[in-house]
Amino acid sequence: MARNSITFLILLTLTLPSKAQELFQKELEGRVYSKDGDVAATHVLNMTTGKAAITDINGFFSIMANTNDTLLFSAVQYKKKEIVITSEMLESKLLLVPLEENLTELEEVVVMPYNLSGDVSRDVNRMSVGPVVTASTLGLPNAYAVFPSQAERLLNEATTGGGFIPLNPILNGISGRTKMLKNRIARNERYARTQRVRNFFADSLYVQEFEIPEDRIAEFMYFCEVDPSFQSVVDTHDRLRIWEFMRRKSKVYKDNNGL
């Protein structure tokens, strides 16, 4: 009996730290970004807990984490990046993680069978390019259909269900998953709107006129996005007014970041 009690105490001692760590974990939401903008399907690994996540098409992710956990971000086209989670990161509304391209330079490339010279003006005339084949050129019925995003599909799944008493809407409403998915859809829509606004102007204008470093333009756009008046300014579709709004915000952003 004494031996069993000792064994139980040892197992309890080994189990409690991991259970306590899980208890104090918090869902951390963030977004990875880069200069080329191709950040979909970036792997996010919590090296401390072994839990993993993957970013959506816009670079957003969510993962359970605690203070001092180490997150590893990896993708084929980017250099691996590690960050140690601080209490400030856990309390932030959105963690922004810049990624650096992993460039591999080749000494010489030979393109066959076209025997290209590398001079675009000469090679274009030598190549025979067929018509572009797309769903619309083929006349397919769903060529112009707008498909729901992943978050929209998940929300539909969370709020629908069969049977006499549909359990999915009830359980997801109680757990808060439905609200979380609605917030995620709203966040994705805000991000898409912000990207459209950014594309109104060339990146060189942000650098030259606003003096915002090129690698921080995405962060600056998020700084504009969280301003409550940003939505109403964008809804005017007046690019001069939008430009003036961002010019004022750029001064505040630079002051806050010591630029």
- From first to last of its 259 residues, the chain has per-residue pLDDT tens of 455 555 545 544 554 454 445 556 788 888 888 877 778 888 899 988 888 888 888 888 889 899 899 999 988 888 889 999 998 888 887 888 888 887 655 555 555 555 655 666 666 666 665 666 666 666 666 656 666 767 777 777 778 765 566 677 788 788 888 888 888 887 777 777 777 877 777 888 888 888 888 888 888 888 888 888 888 888 888 888 888 888 888 898 888 888 7
Contact assessment for residue 99 and residue 32, using Cβ atoms and an 8 Å cutoff:
yes
Q: Please tell me the predicted confidence (pLDDT) of residue 5.
A: 55
- DSSP string of 63-90? EEE-TT-EEEEEETTEEEEEEE--HHHH
Tell me the CATH number for domain 2-98: 2.60.40
Considering the chain, tell me which residue range(s) the CATH 2.60.40 domain(s) occupy: 2-98
Structure tokens at 162: 């069969």
pTM, rounded to two decimals? 0.43
Helix (H) or strand (E) holding 17: helix 2-23
Q: Please tell me the predicted confidence (pLDDT) of residue 73.
A: 92
Contact assessment for residue 66 and residue 85, using Cβ atoms and an 8 Å cutoff:
yes
* Residue among 39, 71, 73, 72 nearest 57 (CA): 39
Contact assessment for residue 64 and residue 58, using Cβ atoms and an 8 Å cutoff:
no
| Separation between Cα atoms, residue 250 and residue 242, nearest integer Å | 12
- DSSP string of 161-176? --SSS-HHHHHHHHHT
Grouping H, G, I as helix, E, B as strand and the rest as coil, residue 32 is strand
